[in-house]
Structure 1
Amino acid sequence: MAADPATIPGESNRLAYASGRGRWVVAATVLGSAIASIDATVVGIALPAIGREFGSGLATLQWVVTAYTLTLASLLLVGGALGDRYGRRRVFMAGVVWFALASALCGIAADPAILIAARALQGVGAALLTPGSLAILEASFRTEDRGKAIGAWSGLSGVATAIGPFLGGWLVQAVSWRLIFVINLPLAALVVVVAQRHVPESHDPDAAGRIDTAGAGLITAGLVALAYGLIDGPTDGWTSPTVQIVLISAVLLLGGFVVRERRTAAPMLPLKLFGSTQFTATNVVTFVLYGALGGALFLLPIQLQQVSGYTALEAGVSLLPVTALMLALSARSGALAARIGPRLQMSLGPVLVGSGLALFTRVDHAGSYVTEVLPAVLVFGLGLATTVAPLTTTALTAAPARHAGMASAVNNDVARAAGLVAVAVLPAAAGITGSAYLHPAQFSTGFHIACLISAGLCLLSGVLAAATIRNPHEGLAPASPAAQHHMHCSLDAPPEHPKGPEAVG
């Protein structure tokens, strides 16, 4: 049965999870989210192959990763607001189509510049579809079925995330790195057909006022300038007039963004959220922790393939235990935090993550998976499973309930921005520049230094959490059904609240 394109007016017209149409809605949102999350996880596996084909240095590979994160982080909040106003299904489908077209451009890119530009366009598409997937579930299902729908979305998204590195590694090894992008086209076509036929349209009746395009423009330009300066600084020299001008411009643009958000009546980022000490502390911990993760996970697939001699498929499969641990333990970690408060896990979890990163310094040429890689992967994954759910819940509960969606979206964006900065800075800080990744011994030395730097950042985030995160005196209230089921397993950023970034009261 095709969906009525009209906005769902009330609870009586919402869907039951067990209905055929309800299952199709879940399928559309899972597949839509999957094309973005799988793409984010497989690109790292493909970096060595991309570098070999184009004869590119490390800076180019940094931009392949950073361009996507940059536009996604800059426009995620705008994507949610557009869905509120113009229709969540409409914006979700537009994002899927945009993402598919950008993926096709990635697949046929004849040079690195085209690939980087196409990756930036992919980020725009992801910013449109990512908030829409959960917002559609929130708006489409009856209250008593919403938790089931979001739980199914979360679990199936976790499976998609687990499949991503394996599928990407196989495609890179068996055919070409270009297939990791081209494979998005049939998936996107299926999502559009299913969404058009089965997903009901919905709007936020309270969405009013103008979209903060000026704020979006300032933060996008500021992040572009910051990334350019940090990535090209080690190559061109920090005293280069171009690098200095770009970095100064970044400071001015990002400062202008803060001023704009303080003064505008409808800010993209409500700075009043940071009036909560708990919310600010949580985001500081997030920035430090996800900075450590972003930089290390950028370098790890290169280390495994260029130094340890793994194939792309072997490198992809080697990290599957991380996803398995998060799928198995994240919900339990969230439940424990609900009983005792988040501080213990937010303090000890990053220490475990850092210990796993420190163990990666044992990974060298011809490294045994069982004795060198697997122990590091298991400790690393255990730390993530311990940390992510309490961290996300704390970001939600630190803000007023009517701002929970925005609070989670801000926390998500902070994590992505941290990864962006880390990918730009960590290689240079570890002495990995230019074509170093083509020289195994040189790269391996830098990788070990990078792991130790990242481990130190993880330890710092644990100390910050112990010092600044508070447990509620009366204990955390039991999670809502949606929160109990909602657990996304992407390492790219924390999960978003079911209401998505548009849920601003």
Structure 2
Amino acid sequence: MAHDPHHASHDEAPAGPVTADGGTADPAGTTRRGHGNPWVVLAAVALGTMMEALDGTVVAVANPVIAVDLDTELTTLQWVTNGYMLAVASFLITAGKIGDRYGHKKVFLIGMAGFAASSALAGLADSIGALIFWRVVQGISGALLAPSGLAVLKSTFPKDKLKIAIGVWSGVSALAMAAGPFIGGVTVDLLGWRWVFYVNVVVCAAALAVGGWAIRATRPEGAGRPFDVPGVLLLTGALFSLVWGIIQVPGHGWGHAYPLGSFAVAVVLGVAFVLREHRTREALLPLSLFRLRTVSTGTTVLLIGGFATFGASFYLALYLQQVHGFGPLRAGLGLLPFTVLFGVGAPTGAVLNQRFGPRVPLTLGLVLIAGALLGLSGMTEDSSYHAMWPFLAPLGVGMGMVAPTAIEMIVSSAPGHLSGVASGLQQTALMLGGVLGTAALGSMISSRVSGVLPGRLADEGVGDPLAGILRGATEVIAQGVVPVPPGTPRMTAEAAARAGHAAFMDGFQMAMLGGTVIVVIGALIALLAPRLETAPADRPGEAVPTTH
């Protein structure tokens, strides 16, 4: 947003001029070293954002260990991840608006404190119900801190440095999501699954200390505006119903009353929200934002990118642990090429974005992701790890190019007083894509397993009653687990395991092919990304940033 010296936001407590070392001087002339320093602020915000993003994927590798320790089924265990993502996805846009209304520093620090407390309590959980509850609280806290973190950067960095800051912020966020399975594997193997949550407390404490000191409290531009409470309730309800319905799909199918009822509620609330936003003067999420191709294209691409990477990484982790018998640490190491090469894709995408605009890195990144999924679709239960890892490379590079580019498109296009909402929008798209990817790919796997399992059991010579038991456990086998009852003769158990794993891989192949088609559609959409777009100012004296 262009700086207007006569109409800018004012500090609640004037910070004074910036000193040569990046600190600020108070009115008495004493230097407060580090206070307001943009790079110190970026470090604090990046730490907080890293924790919120990391916790969306970090428990993927820990899930089998948690299942044994807390004695729970995999269908229930999925809520350790889905409960967190449900809370985040439902609340992100509203949380961004809360920051726009009441101050982003305040909301960021409250979210950070809540995240630390809920992480500690999740680590102490002695039942699966308690763990899921605290994961939901974690999600709400993460939704508070994430959008306000980006808005803090927009109010802290000068215009010529803001793009760099957004690139670092978005890169850290997306890299944390990608690194989740590896970090989770190392932590679980060395310290136990509870430390996946305990480590958050240490990082959050550091971010609170640095952020509380370095971030300047500024009066938000939207502080005097009414808060659209009906819009908040309608949007939150619509997103909650949509994500809830998607999560129900793997266990019930798309045509079951549970997901269909949830989708119907989501549609009704969504339509009511749109009508509300058209009528109100102070919309929670101004629909005019989506008339900008930078926003609509970036949001769609993030949704599809999250679909592919969340979904693929979830089932690849299960494949390594359940089919190949890898431990958590080894599985995390197995996914390392994806994590490391994400770090290669991010700066590469930034360079391409700077030179050619977002169309090139978005399209190229999605083509690489599609190629990776197509390659993974050729894997079988007998494939070695060496047949898998070469396809993790384009998956990592591709998402590394896509995520920061699309995020920068969205947040740079939004007016300053909607910076929190824009940040919430892009993260909602990524989270919603992740939930949809896990559910949709899981549904494809489950459907295929149901169809091929009887034949696979017959091929291995597994007869009744064991074959009957396994045919009734397709949902579990669709997670890569073959529930052979204790006491089954070794030869029969091995034959059943081969049949179950072969059926799982049949489903995995179908899911990867389905994902490939969706990502190719995303690449075609990315071709619509504009090189340059300027939104009309929606208030006197306010210029809207452009995306190059």
TM bucket, shorter chain: 0.7 to 0.9
Displacement, 1:157?
Answer: 6.2
Residue of 391, 396, 421 corresponding to 2:436: 421
Which residue in 1 is equivalent to 2:445? Answer: 430
1:332-347 matches, within 5 Å, as 332-347=348-363
Residue of 121, 128, 131 corresponding to 1:112: 128
The superposition leaves residues 89-143 of structure 1 with CA deviations (integer Å, 9 ceiling, x where unpaired) of 2211110111122222322333333322222211110111112223333334566
Which residue identity is paired with 1:435? V
Which residue in 1 is equivalent to 2:509? Answer: 448
Which residue in 2 is equivalent to 1:410? Answer: 425
Which residue in 1 is equivalent to 2:496? Answer: none
Which residue in 2 is equivalent to 1:492? Answer: none
Structure-2 change in CA distance of 1:276 and 1:204 (3 Å): same
Distance 1:152 1:172 in 2: 28
Displacement, 1:424?
Answer: 2.5
Which residue in 2 is equivalent to 1:464? Answer: 525
Structure-2 change in CA distance of 1:398 and 1:14 (3 Å): same
User: Higher helix proportion, which one?
Assistant: 1
Distance 1:124 1:235 in 2: 25
Distance 1:434 1:415 in 2: 26
Which residue identity is paired with 2:226? R
Distance 1:407 1:260 in 2: 19
Distance 1:301 1:182 in 2: 22
Which residue identity is paired with 1:298? F
The answer to whether the 8 A contact 1:62-1:424 is kept is no
Identify the structure with bigger relative contact order (alpha carbons < 8 Å, sequence gap 6+).
1
Residue of 36, 59, 69 corresponding to 1:53: 69
SS in structure 2 opposite 1:45?
A: coil
Displacement, 1:352?
Answer: 1.2
The answer to whether the 8 A contact 1:66-1:423 is kept is no
The answer to whether the 8 A contact 2:61-2:332 is kept is yes
Distance 1:40 1:292 in 2: 15
Structure-2 change in CA distance of 1:148 and 1:303 (3 Å): same
The answer to whether the 8 A contact 2:249-2:440 is kept is no
The answer to whether the 8 A contact 2:100-2:420 is kept is no
The answer to whether the 8 A contact 2:305-2:402 is kept is no
Structure-2 change in CA distance of 1:205 and 1:400 (3 Å): closer
Structure-2 change in CA distance of 1:226 and 1:405 (3 Å): closer
Which of 222-231 and 293-302 deviates more? 222-231
Task: Determine if the alignment matches structure 1 residue 231 to structure 2 residue 240.
Answer: no
Residue of 32, 41, 60 corresponding to 1:44: 60
Q: Report the TM-score when normalising by structure 1.
A: 0.81
Which residue identity is paired with 1:410? L
Residue of 270, 273, 276 corresponding to 2:292: 276
Which residue in 1 is equivalent to 2:303? Answer: 287
Displacement, 1:169?
Answer: 0.9
The superposition leaves residues 16-40 of structure 1 with CA deviations (integer Å, 9 ceiling, x where unpaired) of 5485443653443232222222222
Which residue identity is paired with 1:463? L
Which residue in 2 is equivalent to 1:246? Answer: 262
The answer to whether the 8 A contact 1:358-1:455 is kept is yes
The answer to whether the 8 A contact 2:174-2:400 is kept is no
Distance 1:238 1:290 in 2: 20
Residue of 38, 41, 44 corresponding to 1:25: 41
Structure-2 change in CA distance of 1:61 and 1:190 (3 Å): same
Which of 35-44 and 286-295 deviates more? 286-295
Q: Between the two proteins, what is the percent identity of the paired residues?
A: 32
Q: Report the TM-score when normalising by structure 2.
A: 0.75
Displacement, 1:458?
Answer: 0.9
Which residue identity is paired with 1:453? G
Task: Determine if the alignment matches structure 1 residue 384 to structure 2 residue 414.
Answer: no
Which residue in 2 is equivalent to 1:190? Answer: 206
Which structure has the larger Rg over C-alpha atoms?
2
Distance 1:270 1:48 in 2: 43
The answer to whether the 8 A contact 1:17-1:145 is kept is no
Which residue in 1 is equivalent to 2:90? Answer: 74
The superposition leaves residues 312-366 of structure 1 with CA deviations (integer Å, 9 ceiling, x where unpaired) of 1122223333333332342332332333333343333212101112222344446
Structure-2 change in CA distance of 1:400 and 1:79 (3 Å): closer
Which residue identity is paired with 2:244? Y
The superposition leaves residues 275-294 of structure 1 with CA deviations (integer Å, 9 ceiling, x where unpaired) of 23554344334333432333
The answer to whether the 8 A contact 1:345-1:387 is kept is yes
The superposition leaves residues 177-229 of structure 1 with CA deviations (integer Å, 9 ceiling, x where unpaired) of 22201221232233333333443322314432233333332233333333333
Distance 1:14 1:373 in 2: 53
The answer to whether the 8 A contact 1:291-1:419 is kept is yes
Which segments of 5 or more consecutive residues in structure 1 lack a partner in the other structure? 478-505
Task: Determine if the alignment matches structure 1 residue 298 to structure 2 residue 314.
Answer: yes
Structure-2 change in CA distance of 1:43 and 1:407 (3 Å): same
Which residue in 2 is equivalent to 1:372? Answer: 387
The answer to whether the 8 A contact 2:61-2:317 is kept is yes
Structure-2 change in CA distance of 1:31 and 1:155 (3 Å): same
Distance 1:454 1:14 in 2: 52
Which residue in 2 is equivalent to 1:131? Answer: 147
Which residue in 2 is equivalent to 1:208? Answer: 224
The superposition leaves residues 385-404 of structure 1 with CA deviations (integer Å, 9 ceiling, x where unpaired) of 34334434444566678767
Distance 2:74 2:423 in 1: 33
Which of 280-289 and 303-312 deviates more? 280-289
The superposition leaves residues 60-89 of structure 1 with CA deviations (integer Å, 9 ceiling, x where unpaired) of 243322222222122222223323333322
The answer to whether the 8 A contact 1:17-1:148 is kept is no
SS in structure 1 opposite 2:377?
A: helix
Distance 2:180 2:156 in 1: 28
SS in structure 1 opposite 2:59?
A: helix
SS in structure 2 opposite 1:204?
A: coil
Displacement, 1:171?
Answer: 2.1
Which residue identity is paired with 2:514? I
Distance 1:338 1:123 in 2: 34
Structure-2 change in CA distance of 1:426 and 1:158 (3 Å): closer
Which residue in 1 is equivalent to 2:376? Answer: 360
The answer to whether the 8 A contact 2:372-2:395 is kept is yes
Displacement, 1:378?
Answer: 0.9
Distance 2:20 2:155 in 1: 9
SS in structure 1 opposite 2:55?
A: helix
Which of 10-19 and 360-369 deviates more? 10-19
